[in-house]
Structure 1
């Protein structure tokens, strides 16, 4: 459907697109895991890799670069052999982290209710789809 059919103005679309992009960046599975892992102070690449279950080196690298580009992480290279690289949250990311912990708390408090709601929904939507036994 085109924008003319939805009556969304160019101005609104222009404002919404960057917002959606930022939310996509910070709400991704790996981004949240990285931000949570780095919240307790500077952390090295290998420590991040070990602490985030299931992430590949490539995916970690891509997400670290994107978070650094977005101003959420700082990357510090220490002149040692081999080079020591650490990642830390920026003040902006620390503010985001406080909101993420609120979201995590909400999810933990309501996990049971959500599970029950899903089960109830699935039970009501699955029943009409069952066919009668053949005669």
Structure 2
């Protein structure tokens, strides 16, 4: 069950030595709600840094250069979505270009629009949902050739 998987990721984050900034607990005893959770100083090899959690958990790590952060982000088997927060639009363009991710948002998170394709790369999937690109998965190209010239 996804609820237990998320709580297990949070336990692993606590055990990894990452600093719990807030959250990390189940909300109430009914339903499947979990507090928004953030960890800082997360190591590059920590499970919460390398896996797709699909829950309200943020893993934050420090970096010095753009090249370093792009390397860290791409050093994963996953590539569903990435977010960049910056006041420098040129930096956003440079970093976005280097990221191996199916979707990148700048100064926002998970901005979905029905006319914009969404999907991952690597082990985060293939193909696209939404937008015209989504139609590709439901169609098949067929080549039909005619010889309309009489045979000699």
Shorter-chain TM range is under 0.3
Structure that is richer in helix per residue: 1
Report the TM-score, using the length of structure 2 for normalisation: 0.24
Report the TM-score, using the length of structure 1 for normalisation: 0.26
Using CA pairs below 8 Å that are at least 6 residues apart, which structure has the higher relative contact order? 1
